[in-house]
């Protein structure tokens, strides 16, 4: 379908008609999976033409602009179910509909960050302080994240690590795993383990 402009148009127009008929807020594409670089290139064309069609449809009908979203594989570059390839990140960033106010854990993202998506704890603290990034503690997941513009970082800080250590002890676990010591800052996270000396066995203090 995506390899031909005519069939792309048929697919786009039929999707818009269905969304309008049933009062949907938008359309979500779930393609599992584009198999090669040609598929990815055609996918970018599909997004471009689809978004243009949505803009034109909203203008002609006077109805709210239908949202366009896309469910993708968890990695921007992958090799499963085909040859090595990457999603067309520029097209996704440009033609998908994003809400900048949605930035919690699980919010949609585009591409990977610095160092292929990996930052040391000291680098995260430096980024947050230097750029005055917004730092949030998520009580549901017991984890921290920070964001600034289109940059989003999920990580553990002293408080979240302390909570997880207490949870492991309360559950009577034999230990806990930290990755990696060399990414700590002045051993702040590593030393946190020493503050919890109480032993638990099967959830009971001993």
- In the chain, % of residues over pLDDT 70: 87
Q: What's the total number of domains in the chain?
A: 2
Closest CA to 39 of 3, 73, 10: 3
> Sorting pLDDT into bands at 50, 70 and 90, what band is 116?
low
Domain limit, last residue, from 81, 97, 113: 97
Give me the mean pLDDT over the 175-183 stretch: 80
11 with 86, same domain: the answer is yes
Annotated active-site positions, please? Answer: 32
**Which residues in 105-140 are b (16+ Cβ under 10 Å) and which e?**
eeeeebeeeeeeeebebebbbebbeeeebebeeeee
Kindly indicate the confidence band of residue 176, based on its pLDDT and cuts at 50, 70 and 90: confident
User: Which one of 97, 112, 144 terminates a domain?
Assistant: 97
Give the residue-averaged pLDDT of 126-148. 93
Cα–Cα distance for residue pair 126/146, rounded to 1 Å:
12
**Which of 69, 97, 125 is where one domain is finished?**
97
Decide if pLDDT at 203 tops 60: no
CATH number, domain containing residue 52 = 3.20.20.80
| In-domain check, residue 109 | no
Q: The domain containing residue 169 runs over which residues?
A: 161-205
Q: Which residue has the tokens 């809400």?
A: 99
Residue-level pLDDT at 110? 63
CA proximity to 113, closest of 58, 160, 150, 158: 150
Residue 74 counted as domain residue: yes
- Mean per-residue pLDDT, 143-147: 93
pLDDT for res 168: 85
Based on the fold, state whether residues 3 and 92 are members of the same structural domain. Answer: yes
């Amino acid at each position: 379908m995506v390899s031909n402009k005519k069939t792309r148009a048929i697919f786009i127009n039929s999707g818009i008609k269905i969304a309008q008929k049933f009062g949907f807020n938008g359309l979500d594409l779930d393609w599992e999976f584009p198999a090669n670089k040609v598929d990815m290139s055609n996918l970018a064309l599909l997004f471009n033409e689809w978004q243009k069609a949505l803009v034109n449809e909203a203008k002609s009908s006077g109805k709210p602009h239908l949202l366009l979203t896309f469910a993708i594989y968890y990695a921007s570059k992958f090799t499963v179910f085909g040859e090595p390839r990457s999603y067309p990140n520029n097209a996704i960033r440009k033609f998908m509909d994003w809400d900048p106010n949605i930035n919690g854990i699980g919010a949609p993202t585009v591409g990977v960050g610095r160092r292929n998506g990996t930052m040391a704890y000291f680098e995260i603290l430096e980024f947050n302080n230097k750029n005055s990034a917004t730092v949030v503690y998520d009580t549901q997941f017991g984890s921290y994240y920070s964001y600034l513009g289109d940059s989003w970082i999920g990580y553990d800080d002293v408080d979240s690590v302390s909570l997880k250590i207490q949870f492991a002890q309360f559950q009577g676990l034999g230990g806990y795993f930290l990755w990696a010591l060399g990414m700590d800052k002045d051993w702040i996270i590593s030393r946190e383990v020493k503050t919890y000396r109480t032993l638990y066995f099967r959830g009971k203090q001993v």
